[in-house]
Structure 1
Amino acid sequence: MKKLLLLFLPVLLLACSFLYYYNSKPAFDSRTAAAGKAKPVRWVDTHTKQTLYHVVIGDSLAKGYGSSQGGYAGIASKQLEAKLQKQVIVDNIAVNGLTTTGLISLLERPDVKEKLQKADIITISIGGNNLLRLNRNFGILEGLKMLDQEKKKFQADLEHILLTIRAENKDAVLVLSELYNPLQLEDSISSYASLFLDGWNKTIRTAADTYNPAIVLPVRKLIPNDAKELLYDGVHPNDAGYARIADAFVQSLLSYKL
C-alpha cells in the first residue's frame, strides 16, 4: 500500500500544481487585448493647435503657374481652413522650371531648413522638368536607355530629397504629386515618357510609403492627356484643373490615418 501511495504521489502533486496554475491564471479578456492595439487616428485629429503651417516646394505645378488662386496648394489650404476652422499659413517657395537637382540645392539653404522644421504640411511636386529637358533627338533604343537612366537618377534624387526633409522634420505630413504628361508632342521621347510615367509614379508612391506620414495625389488621373479644358497653356492646369487637384488633396488629407 505504501509503495502504491509513493508511486501515485508525484502524479497527484503534478495534478494539483496544474489546477492551481490554471485557476490562478487571469482569464483572457478580448476587451483588454483590443485595448492593447492602438486604433488608427486621423492625422488632422493629432493637431490641436489653431494654426497649420503649410510649406510648398518644387516646380511650377507646386508654384501654381497658370492659377489665379495660388494653385492647388493655395486652394486646398483655404478649403482646410473652412473645414477645420483653423488658420492655414501657406509659404510657397516653389520655383518654376525646377528639377530634382535644383530642389536638392534649395533644401540646403538655412532659411529653407528653418521653414521645413516648422511645417505641419509639406507639399512637393518635382520631376516633370527632368522629363521635359531630355534630349529628344534620339532613336528608339537610345531613347529607352536615356529614360531608364533618368528614372534611376529621379529615384535617387527623390530619396535624397525626402531624407533631407525628414532630417529636419519627422512629423509633418508630406503631400507628393504624381507626374503627368499633358504634352501632345510628336516625338519618340514624349511617347516613351507617357508609357514610363506609371513606373515613375510607382517610385513616388514607394517613397511615400517609406517616409510616412505621406500621401500621393493622383495627378495623372486628375489631369488626363486629352483634358484641354483643364489646362492653362497646354502644360499647366488652369484654375479648374488646380481645383480638381485641390479637392483630392483635401479629401486625402482629411481621411489620412496614422
Structure 2
Amino acid sequence: MKQWGWLLFCWLLAGCVSLSTGGKPERPHEAAVKQTEAKPLPKDIHLVALGDSLTEGVGDGEGKGGYVGRLVPLLSVEDGVRTVTVTNLGKRGRRIVELESVIKAHEREISQADLVLVTIGGNDVMNVVRSHFFDLSRERFANEAKAFAARLDRLVLSLRTVNPDAFIVLVGLYNPFSSTLPNIPEIDDVIAEWNEGSRGVLLRYDRTMFVDVQDVFADRDDLLYRDEFHPNAAGYAQIAIRVHDALIEQKEVWLGSLGQ
C-alpha cells in the first residue's frame, strides 16, 4: 500500500507541473500559434521612385542605380521585409510640373506601391538661374519657392488620389551651386527655404516624410560628380543611408500597416 501511495503522489506532482496557468496543459501547436502572432510574417515591398536625374541615378559611376538602387539592399535585410521590388520612373531634366503626366501614365504601378520616393526641385532651381542669370536675386528665388510649394501640394494630392495608403518620401534639395553662383552668396539659405517649404507641405498629409540631405553635401565637393551638380557614387551612398535611417525611424508606420 505504501508503494501505491508513493506512485500516486508522484503522478499527481507530475500533473501539477505540466499544467499551465489556469490548470490547462499547453499544447505544442498552441505555443506555435502564439509565436506566430508575436512575429508577423515578412512582407513584400513594392517601391516606386519618381522624379529627376537623382532618381534616375545620373552621375553614379558604379552603375548601382543611384540612391534608389543602394536603398534596396538596405531595406531588404530589415526584419519584416521579405523582398523589395522597384519601379524607377526617374528621368534627367524633369521639373515638378512634368510629374503629373508621369503619375497619369503609371497609375497602375503607383496604385500598388507601398513606398513612393520622390526627388524633384533641382531643375526648378536651375530654371530660375537660367532665366535670370544676370539679375538673380533672393526675391526671385523666394517667389519661385512659393510656386514650387503649391505645385508640390498638388503633386502629393495626386499621389494620394491614386494611392491613399502608400508612404510618400520626398528627398530634399542640396546646394551644388557654391562655385557656379558666386553672385548669390545666400544660396545656402535659398536652398534651405525651398526645403522648409517642401517640409511644410508634407506635414499637411499623413504617411509622408521629408528627408533633408542639404547638410550631407555641405562643403563636400568630393560627393559630387565631375559635372559638379549630380552626386557621384559616394554621394548617392550617403543619400541612401540618410533615407534608410529616416525610414527605419518610421518603420512601424509604413511597414506595420501593410496587409492590414
User: Shorter-normalised TM-score: what interval?
Assistant: 0.7 to 0.9
Verify: 1:195 aligned to 2:182, yes or no.
Answer: no
Partner of 2:171: 177
Partner of 1:41: none
Partner of 2:76: 81
Larger mean Cα displacement after TM superposition, 119-128 or 172-181: 172-181
Structure 2 Cα separation of the partners of residues 74 and 186 of structure 1: 31
Verify: 1:97 aligned to 2:93, yes or no.
Answer: yes
Structure 2 Cα separation of the partners of residues 247 and 63 of structure 1: 17
- Supply the AA of the counterpart residue of 1:155: A
Q: What displacement does 1:105 show?
A: 2.5
Q: Tell whether the 8 Å contact from 1:72 to 1:246 is kept in structure 2 after alignment.
A: yes
1:62 alignment partner, one of 55, 59, 67:
55
Verify: 1:231 aligned to 2:227, yes or no.
Answer: no
Q: Any idea what SS the aligned residue of 1:200 has?
A: helix
- Supply the AA of the counterpart residue of 2:112: K
- Supply the AA of the counterpart residue of 1:222: V
- Supply the AA of the counterpart residue of 2:220: A
Structure 1 Cα separation of the partners of residues 193 and 173 of structure 2: 10
Partner of 1:72: 67
Q: What displacement does 1:145 show?
A: 3.4
Partner of 2:208: 214
Q: How does 1:134-173 map to 2 (within 5 A)?
A: 134=128, 135-139=131-135, 143-173=137-167
Number of residue equivalences: 208
Structure 2 Cα separation of the partners of residues 168 and 186 of structure 1: 39
Structure 2 Cα separation of the partners of residues 93 and 153 of structure 1: 24
The verdict on how the C-alpha distance between 1:165 and 1:46 changes in structure 2, with shifts beyond 3 A counting, is farther
Structure 2 Cα separation of the partners of residues 133 and 187 of structure 1: 17
Structure 2 Cα separation of the partners of residues 46 and 179 of structure 1: 38
- Supply the AA of the counterpart residue of 1:100: I
1:116-148 Cα deviation digits (max 9, x unpaired)? 1000010001111001122233436xx333222
Structure 2 Cα separation of the partners of residues 69 and 47 of structure 1: 31
- Supply the AA of the counterpart residue of 2:54: L
1:114 alignment partner, one of 108, 112, 122:
108
Q: Tell whether the 8 Å contact from 1:121 to 1:172 is kept in structure 2 after alignment.
A: yes
Q: What displacement does 1:236 show?
A: 1.0
The verdict on how the C-alpha distance between 1:175 and 1:46 changes in structure 2, with shifts beyond 3 A counting, is farther
The verdict on how the C-alpha distance between 1:87 and 1:119 changes in structure 2, with shifts beyond 3 A counting, is same
Q: Any idea what SS the aligned residue of 1:253 has?
A: helix
Q: Any idea what SS the aligned residue of 1:86 has?
A: strand
For structure 2, the residue ranges without an aligned partner over 5 or more in a row are 1-37, 254-260
The structure, 1 or 2, with the larger RCO (C-alpha pairs under 8 Å, 6+ apart) is 1
Q: What displacement does 1:176 show?
A: 0.7
Q: Tell whether the 8 Å contact from 1:104 to 1:157 is kept in structure 2 after alignment.
A: no
Structure 2 Cα separation of the partners of residues 193 and 170 of structure 1: 36
Q: What displacement does 1:217 show?
A: 1.7
Partner of 2:14: none
Paired-residue identity, %:
29
Structure 2 Cα separation of the partners of residues 207 and 197 of structure 1: 16
Structure 1 Cα separation of the partners of residues 151 and 209 of structure 2: 19
Structure 2 Cα separation of the partners of residues 117 and 65 of structure 1: 26
Root-mean-square deviation (Å):
2.1
For structure 1, the residue ranges without an aligned partner over 5 or more in a row are 1-44
